[in-house]
Amino acid sequence: MMRYNSLSRFSLVLFLIMIVKSSVQAQPKGPQPWWPTQPRALPFLHPLFSNNMVLQREIKAPIWGWSKPGDQIQIQVDGKSTGEIAIAGRDGKWTAKIGPFPAGGPHELVISGKNKNERLTNVLFGDVWLCSGQSNMNWPVRLSNNAEAEVKNANHPHIRSFTVNFFPSLVPMKLPLEGSWEMCTPEFARNFTGVGYFFAREINEKIKIPIGIIHSSVGASAAEAWTSGSALRKQMPDDFKDRLDELDKTSSAFGSNFDFFQALEKWTAKVDPQSARENYISNPNLDTSSWMDIEVPKPWNEAGLKDHNGLVWFRNTIEIPESMKGKDLSLNLSIINDVDIVWFNGTLIGSKQIPGNTRTYLLDSNLVKVGKNLLVVAIVNNASPSGFCSQPANMNIRPAANPGKDIIGLKGIWKAKASTKFDELPPFPIPQLGHYKTITGLYNGMIAPLEPYAIKGALWYQGEANGPFWLQYRRLLPTLIKDWRERFEVGDFPFLIVSLANLNKLQTQPIEPGWAEIRESQWRTVRSVPNTGLAMTIDIGDPDNIHPRNKQEVGRRLSLVARNLVYGEKDLVYSGPEFVKMQIEPSGKDKIRLFFKNIGGGLMIKPGDKKLTGFIIAGADKKFVWADAIIEGETILVSSPEIAEPKFVRYGWAWNPIVNLFNKEGLPAITFRTDE
Share of the chain above pLDDT 70, in %: 96
Q: What is the pLDDT of residue 256?
A: 85
Q: What is the pLDDT of residue 9?
A: 33
Reported confidence tier of residue 80, pLDDT bands at 50, 70, 90:
very high
Pairwise CA distance, residues 201 & 289, whole Å? 66
Measuring CA to CA, how many Å separate 346 from each of 193, 368, 375? Answer: 41, 11, 8
Pairwise CA distance, residues 565 & 546, whole Å? 29
Q: What is the pLDDT of residue 24?
A: 55
* Domains of the chain and any CATH numbers: 54-228+441-565 (3.40.50.1110), 263-424 (2.60.120.260), 578-673 (no CATH)
Tell whether the model's pLDDT for residue 2 goes beyond 60.
no
Pairwise CA distance, residues 527 & 599, whole Å? 17
Measuring CA to CA, how many Å separate 201 from each of 138, 149, 552? Answer: 17, 15, 10
What's the whole-number mean pLDDT along residues 541-552? 98
Tell whether the model's pLDDT for residue 365 goes beyond 50.
yes
Pairwise CA distance, residues 39 & 343, whole Å? 12
Q: What is the pLDDT of residue 356?
A: 86
* pLDDT tens track for 474-527: 999 999 999 999 999 999 999 999 999 999 999 999 999 899 999 999 999 999
What's the whole-number mean pLDDT along residues 155-159? 98
Q: What is the pLDDT of residue 16?
A: 31
Averaged pLDDT score across all residues of the chain: 94
What's the whole-number mean pLDDT along residues 589-614? 97
* pLDDT tens track for 210-219: 999 999 999 9
Q: Cα 303 to chain center, whole Å?
A: 44
Pairwise CA distance, residues 391 & 666, whole Å? 60
Reported confidence tier of residue 343, pLDDT bands at 50, 70, 90:
very high
Tell whether the model's pLDDT for residue 20 goes beyond 50.
no
Reported confidence tier of residue 623, pLDDT bands at 50, 70, 90:
very high
Tell whether the model's pLDDT for residue 581 goes beyond 70.
yes
Residue (of 531, 535, 514) closest to 523 by Cα position: 535
Pairwise CA distance, residues 467 & 533, whole Å? 20
What's the whole-number mean pLDDT along residues 631-655? 97
* pLDDT tens track for 106-119: 999 999 999 899 99
Q: What is the pLDDT of residue 95?
A: 98
Tell whether the model's pLDDT for residue 187 goes beyond 60.
yes
CB within 8 Å of 463: residues ≥ 6 apart: 223, 473, 500, 515, 518, 519, 521, 522
Reported confidence tier of residue 384, pLDDT bands at 50, 70, 90:
confident
What's the whole-number mean pLDDT along residues 420-430? 94
